[in-house]
Amino acid sequence: MTQAEIKLCSLLLQEHFGEIVEKIGVHLIRTGSQPLRVIAHDTGTSLDQVKKALCVLIQHNLVIYQVHKRGVVEYEAQCSRVLHMLRYPRYIYTAKTLYSDTGELIVEELLLNGKMTMSAVVKKVADRLTETMEDGKTMDYAEVSNTFVRLADTHFVQRCPFVPATENSDPGPPPPAPTLVINEKDMYLVPKLSLIGKGKRRRSSDEDATGEPKAKRPKHIADNKEPIPDDGIYWQANLDRFHQHFRDQGIVSAVANRMDQIFRSLPVGYNISKQVLDQYLTLLADDPLEFVGKSGDSGGGMYVINLHKALGSLATATLESVVQERFGSRCARIFRLVLQKKHLEQKQVEDFAMIPAKEAKDMLYKMLSENFISLQEIPKTPDHAPSRTFYLYTVNILSAARMLLHRCYKSIANLIERRQFETKENKRLLEKSQRVEAIIASMQATGAEEAQLQEIEEMITAPERQQLETLKRNVNKLDASEIQVDETIFLLESYIESTMKRQ
Amino acid sequence: MAGNKGRGRAAYTFNIEAVGFSRGEKLPDVVLKPPPLFPDTDYKPVPLRTGEGEDYMLALKQELRETMKRMPYFMETPEEKQDIERYSKRYMKVYKEEWVPDWRRLPREMMPTKKCKKAGHKSKKAKVTGQGTSLTNPADVLKKIEELEKRGDGEKSDEENEEKEGSKEKSKEGDDDEEDDAAEQEEYDEEEQEEENDYINSYFEDGDDFGADSDDNMDEATY
């Protein structure tokens, strides 16, 4: 794991789970697999806190455990899974577009809680949906269940590995940790539940707008008394399936852009007949992007989508775009040239790009220093003398993609840090505004006069309001940037993964 | 010898013109400091994408951030005592739902050791007898009794539990760790008693000994 990735994991864990979990998590990411006591000793944390932190991390599928010989249990962190926390909003939004609000809330609950039983999810989501409905209306469990089943069928949610039922005939001491198993065919099997019921609204007395909660609430003993029909069967969100969806989305939109260009040069026809479809496919196959390949003529021509090439094209397009935005369009021209011709000498670059020598050199060295372009040495003589060696410029897409990915991780870490800094700087003001809002809300609830409300609102002065506006704008911008950089990360990661698999 | 650079003059081993400098000696100065922290860029960044999807995801992100902080999984660090104990702090504590993990899915060593001393004794005894089947060696039993003799209250049971949880470890390591743990847990017990517990105190396997033994037995360990 690179330093940049570890730093990013640290920021994510801290934002989502607090500093203690962050300390334990980052330690495991750095050192690899370790047993409980070593973790406590090395991090200087009390055993109890380490246990709690590990429970949280295991619950969220960020840490796994394994029993080694002599009964020692070792814990290992899943760094890539931690980085996926960046993408939670995108997973939830995708679920919304595919399965509407019900699907959205199911995925959200699963992501927030790591793993849950189906009955727990259905109940929670029904309650939440009921809150948003008009007075008197409630959400039926059956509807939520149906959406859950559809999500399972399309593999967006999957079952977690479970503890196998052991026969009691096995003598001897119980193992230090259960071995969890899951069968391929069981992964999407929905248990036969008859969940009958409707969502419940939270009683208004439970909500305290004035911020005066009772110091101790009665524990929810009532809920625990009901037997859970699918006890032990936990579900989690299947992130890989979401990734597949994103990848397909990316390719489709790239092709759509392409089709747009081609489409405009063709006569517009509202009914797409078979012949026109044929034409389109041929065009796509001939297209230099090589997304679609024709593999044989059986059945009138079989077309295949070449995923690896598609991802490669997307990654290359990203690189070109970055060069253009960072160094200018002339640099981008040179970059595309070298990409196309694979290997070029300095002189050839100047000639083909039609850019004066001095500028061309300047641009090439700039790109070279940032590792978008690399030099390939080809010696003419065995002694590798520099004056008798060819130096060819080339673009190694895989290493350039890796370099860019690394920069993306750094960027997001910077964005998060800046956002935290901005929030901390204005902490006092934020707290004041929250207090004022709470006071106004409670006064409105108890029916206060307009004049009194005005007075309270004026507690925040105009320049302070300005400051708050600026803060909100900046935080929004930083958040939005994080989301968009994550899209680039996904693209580059997919390409690198696809390339590594082929080797 | 080493100082001779070709008849006293510097000579490059490569064709300097290829790099872009003429044969004159107008090489740029050597840079002796790191590049500036925020260098000026010639090109401004592309504006962010806007749209319904992006706006929704932004709102989602910010909501999620707030929600996470209120979940029971978010472990607050115990803040240091302030100079003046603010009365309002007590009433502004956000109520957090308790979360109890499914112990069947976790290694046994994950279960917390009991905090409250009184309740602790009973539960530890229950635990001890429950897990007693794993240590039926007479040697171990003797060891138990010896330790009961030597050490004081409470800590013994802690050590025994720690021993059992790492039962396959060598006893030497076990001993060293025990002392650390005893000290740790002693301090820890006192702190924990003052705070609200995250785990339900009443969770433990009810052994047959629950309630039957009184604490007096433990106090009078005089053999």
A212 at the B interface (CB within 8 A)? Answer: yes
Task: Provide the percentage of residues in chain A whose pLDDT is more than 70.
Answer: 83
CB-side neighbour CA atoms (13 Å) of B170? 3
**Subunit contact A232:B104, Cβ cutoff 8 A:** yes
Q: Is pLDDT above 50 for A45?
A: yes
Q: How many residues can be counted in chain B?
A: 223
**Subunit contact B165:A176, Cβ cutoff 8 A:** yes
Distances (CA, A) of A285 to A219, A222, A261, A314, A474: 64, 63, 15, 17, 45
CB contacts < 8 A, A to B, total 170
Q: Looking at beta carbons, which residues of chain B come within 8 Å of A327?
A: 43
CA A60-A62-A67 angle, to 5 degrees, is 105
| pLDDT score of B9 | 64
Sign of CA dihedral A273, A279, A283, A284: positive
Side chain identity at A100, as an amino acid letter? Answer: S
**Subunit contact B68:A51, Cβ cutoff 8 A:** no
Cα Rg, chain B, nearest whole Å: 34
Instruction: Tell me the mean pLDDT in the region A376-405.
Output: 89
**Choice among A55-64, A355-364, B65-74, B130-139 with the minimum mean pLDDT:** B130-139
- For residues A36 and A114, the answer to whether their CB atoms sit within 8 Å is no
- Tell me the C-alpha distance between B122 and B165, whole Å: 18
Instruction: Tell me the mean pLDDT in the region B91-108.
Output: 77
The model's pLDDT over A51-91, given as tens digits with 9 standing for 90+, comes to 999 999 999 999 999 888 888 889 999 999 999 999 999 99
| pLDDT score of A386 | 77
- Specify burial of residue B109 (Cβ count, 10 A radius: 0-12, 13-18, 19+): buried
Q: Would you tell me how many other CB atoms lie within 10 Å of the CB of residue B64? A: 19
Q: How many residues can be counted in chain A?
A: 503
What would the DSSP string read from start to end of A174-231? PPSSPPPB--GGGTTPPP------B--PPPGGG--TTS---SSPPP-HHHHHSPPTTT
Instruction: Tell me the mean pLDDT in the region A206-229.
Output: 45
Task: Work out the end-to-end distance of chain B between its first and last CA atoms, rounded to an integer number of angstroms.
Answer: 89
The model's pLDDT over B10-65, given as tens digits with 9 standing for 90+, comes to 666 666 665 666 666 667 778 888 888 887 877 888 888 888 999 999 999 999 99
The model's pLDDT over B162-177, given as tens digits with 9 standing for 90+, comes to 444 444 444 444 344 4
Instruction: Tell me the mean pLDDT in the region A247-258.
Output: 83
Q: Return mean pLDDT, chain B.
A: 62
Phi first, then psi, for residue B92 (nearest 5°) are -100, 10
- For residues A288 and A336, the answer to whether their CB atoms sit within 8 Å is no
Side chain identity at A62, as an amino acid letter? Answer: L
Q: Return mean pLDDT, chain A.
A: 83
Distances (CA, A) of A196 to A144, A199, A413: 11, 10, 46
For the record, the structure tokens of A66 come out as: 């394994």
**Subunit contact A52:B92, Cβ cutoff 8 A:** no
Q: What is the ipTM of this complex?
A: 0.82
Best mutation target, A37, A54, A168, A439, to test chain B (most B CBs within 10 A): A37
Side chain identity at A377, as an amino acid letter? Answer: E
Partner-chain residue, chosen from B75, B97, B167, that has the shortest CB–CB distance to A71: B167
Query: Which residues, other chains included, contact A255 with Cβ-Cβ below 8 Å and sequence gap of 6+?
Result: A284, A291
Give a three-class secondary structure readout of chain B: CCCCCCCCCCCCCCCHHHHCCCCCCCCCCCCCCCCCCCCCCCCCCCCCCCCHHHHHHHHHHHHHHHHHHHCCCCCCCCCCCCCCCCHHHHHCCCCCCCCCCCHHHCCHHHCCCCCCHHHHHHHHHHHHHHHHHHCCCHHHHHHHHHHHHHCCCCHHHHHHHHHHHCCCCCHHHHHHHHHHHHHHHHHHHHHHHHCCCCCCCCCCCCCCCCCCCCCHHHHCCCC
**Widest pairwise Cα distance in chain A:** 93
Q: How confident is the model at residue A303 (pLDDT cuts 50, 70, 90)?
A: low
Partner-chain residue, chosen from A20, A37, A328, that has the shortest CB–CB distance to B177: A37
What would the DSSP string read from start to end of A449-501? -HHHHHHHHTTS-HHHHHHHHHHHHHHHHHHHHHHHHHHHHHHHHHHHHHHHH
H/E stretch holding A92 reads: helix A88-113
3-class DSSP assignment, residue A61: coil
